[in-house]
Structure formats: C-alpha cells, structure tokens
C-alpha cells in the first residue's frame, strides 16, 4: 500500500474542489468526509503493519452507473434523478470497500452509457484533460478525465463498445476491458446484457491489474514476468486502419517498429472477414440498441423527451428490430467467435490503434450528422472486440507533451486476461520511449 492515504485523498479532494464547475462536470457526487475517514483507517492499519489488499488506501472513483447504497443511480440521466435509492452497493463497490479502497466519488458519463463521445447535456460535458475544448471520450468520460487530471488514482468504468478504452486513449492513460464474465455486473445499470463489461482506468498497467483482481474476486499475485522478445503479435491491417489520422498512424508505426527491433515476431494479418462482420450483421439493427430498447422501455413510453436526443435516437432504433434478426445475430456472433478464436490461436496479441483519430473538438460534433459520423469512427476499432468478447487494453503512446494523446490497443485471446496484463506491462515500456 502507498503511504499516507489521508494526504493523497486530501490533495485529490482539493483538486476536485479547485476545478470548480469543471470538477462538477467530472464528478456527479463527491464523498469527501467518508473518503477521508476511510483514508485515516487505511493509514492506521499501515502503521500497525496491516494491509487489506494491494488497493488498501488507494483513491478510487466509480462510474455513475454503479449502485451506492442509499442514493439513486442516475447513469448520467436526468430521468433517474428521482429513482429509488439503491438498497446496497454494487458487488464491485462492496469488494473495493472490503479491500480498503477509498471511494472518493462518482464520475460523470454519457447518458445510459450509449456513445463513445462523452457528451452529457444533463450534467455537463467534462473537457479532455489535455485540451478542455475537446471531447473526453465516452461513455466513461469523467473516469478518464479524473485519472488524467489527478482527481482519482484509479477509476472504475464500464465497457460495452469501448467505453473504458476510448477515454483512456483520448486522455493519455491506461484502460482495461476484461473478458465479460470475469467481473460481476450485479448492481451496475445495464446498457447491453450481451456486451457490458467492468474495467478500470489508471495511470499504469499494474494499477489496472490490482483493481481487476479485487473486482474479479481473485487473490492478487504479481504479474508473471513476460519477455517482449519472441511475442507473437498480429496487426489486423485493413478495415480497422482505414480513415486513421496521420498522427495516430505515425505513433502506432513507431511502437511497432520498436517492438520489432526488440525481437517481437510481428506479422500483418488479413482479418477483415471477422473485423467487418459485426458491422455487416448489424446494419439493420444492433444488439446494443435492441437490448437498450428493452431496458428503457418504460422511459421511452412515458418521457422520451427527457433523454438526450442523440442517445434517444440510438435507443429507438432497437424498438424496430424483429425477434428473428436478434436471434440470428446472437447465433452468428457465437459462430464467428469460435472461428476467430481458431484464427488467432497461435498469437499472443493483436495490436492496432485504439481509436483512429485524436479527440475532436466538442463543438465539431454539435449537430446530429457530425456526432453520428464521429461516434461511429470512435467506436469502430474497440467495439469489434466487445463483439468477440476478447480482453483488450488501451496503452498510452508517448507522442510528446505538446501533442494530443494516442492509444495503442492490445488484444488477447478470451480468458487470457492475466497474460494480457503481463504482456501489456512489458509492451508499455516501448510505448513510452
């Protein structure tokens, strides 16, 4: 455990307060007194040589779709401000508290977690940590900005189509999406039953790994040492590299060149059959939209005008999906998952840019057409790996202090989460050179 949790918690609370209105756009709730009390208890344990876990005394925020007992879970929506208070903490919150983590607050998000941009008209839009005129990325918008600005040591987000990895890439931090079944979602407001996953955002891979161990209910063991030399890395050239901005492409190629010089076995792969399938299969309706329409049926019937119009339009598309199409999507998804598993069985990792572009300016996505175009491109690369339920991380690439952040996405085989974390920790050193 890091020493002096009270001091670090106080500094974080001061940073949130000093940010004024921007702090209120990053956090929807701040638990100042409770956080300091938890931090004092952690410091007292440390004095007596006691540690509850690797996260004992670490300052953690949670996305505003996880239940906290005694208060409504708003999920970024004005509709849910008057929802009944949660009866108990979400399972991951219970596990974090039991591990001694200091829960500092709830972070803002896209309404109902339904976009990769990070806009929220109800609670405000947090500005990107590197340029407040640019989008933070979503849907875990406040989570990414909080870590990047030093307002949280670890943030817990959710990832249905990229909602942990996108804000990580745009804000220059690390984000981990596990295999879906790894972390329980009890007490998390859902977007898609089929695709939702729970993951951390932090400044480094180790913090993500330790948070993942707590949330997944596993004993923490140090990540196994992995040599970069000899790693078998596939680059899925093709569809997922189209429309990539030059700054992103150049940063990515520099990392790949460095890994190649370090002895990685890197090969370009033609995976468009699989990378393109999620989009072709869902041209007439997506799994997310169909499941969101079910989840929000009552709100759609009673007060649709209270929902962000950009989010509402996406949810309503799910109302018209025929049941045979939904069932066919699910069956096709399972068949494709098995065939992709076989195709990448001999690889350690896939690597590609997390997002094809740097964070655009907030005012450039103000109209529906521009928003939808940007949202589709922002989500494109990340969403593929939710469809196939493969664990994935976004690692920050060193592009210099003056440039906007770029993310490197590393993807492993299903249920190889610990291997991914271990390999990512080694690979990240190459990203930072």
- pLDDT at site 401: 87
| 392 pLDDT tier (thresholds 50, 70, 90) | very high
- Confidence tier at 363 by pLDDT (50, 70, 90): very high
Please give the pLDDT value at position 344: 98
Mean pLDDT of 194-222: 97
Helices 309-316 and 368-387 meet at what angle, rounded to 10? 50
Nearest to 125 by CA among 362, 284, 353, 346: 362
Could you report how far apart the first and last alpha carbons of the chain are, in Å? 28
Residue 426's pLDDT band (boundaries 50, 70, 90)? confident
C-alpha closest to that of 200 among 12, 76, 400, 59: 59
Average pLDDT, the chain: 97
Known catalytic residue at 140 = no
Q: How does pLDDT run across 128-149, given as a tens digit for each residue?
A: 999 999 999 999 999 999 999 9
Q: Mean pLDDT, to the nearest integer, of 313-342? A: 97
pLDDT at residue 1, rounded to an integer: 43
- The residue annotated as part of the active site, out of 5, 77, 163, 168, is 163
Rg (CA), the chain: 20
73, 67 Cβ separation under 8 angstroms: yes
Domains held by the chain: number: 1
Q: Which of 139, 155, 168, 394 is catalytic?
A: 139
Domain span including residue 83: 1-433
Average pLDDT over residues 342-369: 98
Span 375-379, average pLDDT: 98
Q: What is the CATH number of the domain that holds 94?
A: 3.90.1300.10
Confidence category of residue 432, pLDDT binned at 50, 70, 90: low
Q: Per the residue annotation, which of 53, 61, 63, 192 is the catalytic one? A: 63
Residue 163 annotated among the catalytic residues of the structure = yes
Q: Is 296 helix (H, G, I), strand (E, B) or coil?
A: coil
In 284-405, beta strands by DSSP E: 349-353, 392-397
């Amino acid at each position: 455990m890091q020493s002096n949790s009270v001091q670090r918690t106080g500094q974080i609370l001061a940073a949130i307060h000093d940010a004024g209105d921007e702090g209120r756009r990053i956090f929807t709730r701040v638990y100042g007194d409770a956080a300091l009390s938890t931090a004092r208890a952690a410091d007292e344990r440390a004095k007596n040589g006691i540690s509850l876990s690797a996260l004992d005394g670490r300052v953690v925020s949670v996305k505003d779709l996880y239940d906290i007992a005694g208060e409504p879970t708003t999920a970024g929506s004005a509709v849910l401000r008057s929802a009944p208070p949660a009866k108990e903490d979400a399972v991951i919150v219970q596990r974090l508290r039991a591990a001694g983590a200091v829960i500092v607050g709830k972070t803002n998000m896209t309404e109902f977690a339904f976009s990769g941009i990070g806009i929220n008209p109800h609670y405000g839009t947090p500005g990107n940590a590197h340029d407040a005129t640019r989008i933070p990325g979503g849907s875990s918008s406040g989570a990414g900005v909080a870590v990047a600005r030093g307002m949280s040591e670890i943030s817990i987000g959710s990832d249905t189509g990229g909602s942990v990895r996108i804000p990580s890439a745009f804000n220059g931090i690390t984000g981990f999406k596990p295999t879906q079944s790894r972390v329980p979602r009890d007490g998390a407001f859902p977007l898609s039953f089929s695709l939702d996953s729970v993951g951390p955002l932090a400044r480094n891979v180790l913090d993500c790994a330790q948070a993942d161990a707590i949330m997944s209910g596993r004993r923490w063991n140090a990540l196994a040492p992995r040599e970069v030399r000899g790693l078998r890395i596939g680059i899925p050239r093709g569809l997922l590299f189209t429309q990539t901005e030059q700054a992103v492409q150049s940063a990515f190629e520099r990392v790949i060149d460095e890994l190649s010089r370090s002895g990685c076995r890197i090969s370009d792969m033609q995976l468009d059959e699989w990378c393109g399938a999620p989009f072709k299969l869902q041209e007439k309706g997506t799994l997310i939209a169909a499941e969101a329409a079910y989840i929000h049926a009552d709100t759609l019937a009673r007060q649709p005008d209270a929902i962000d119009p950009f989010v509402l339009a996406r949810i309503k598309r799910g109302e018209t999906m025929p049941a045979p199409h939904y069932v066919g999507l699910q069956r096709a998804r399972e068949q494709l998952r098995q065939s992709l598993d076989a195709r990448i069985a001999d690889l350690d990792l896939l690597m590609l840019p997390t997002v094809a572009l740097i964070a655009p300016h907030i005012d450039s996505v103000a109209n529906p057409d521009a928003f939808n175009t940007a949202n589709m491109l922002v989500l494109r690369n990340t969403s593929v790996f939710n469809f196939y339920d493969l664990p994935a991380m976004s690692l920050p690439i060193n592009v210099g202090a003056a440039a906007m952040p770029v993310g490197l996405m590393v993807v492993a085989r299903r249920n190889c989460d610990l291997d991914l974390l271990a390999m990512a920790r080694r690979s990240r050193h190459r990203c930072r050179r």
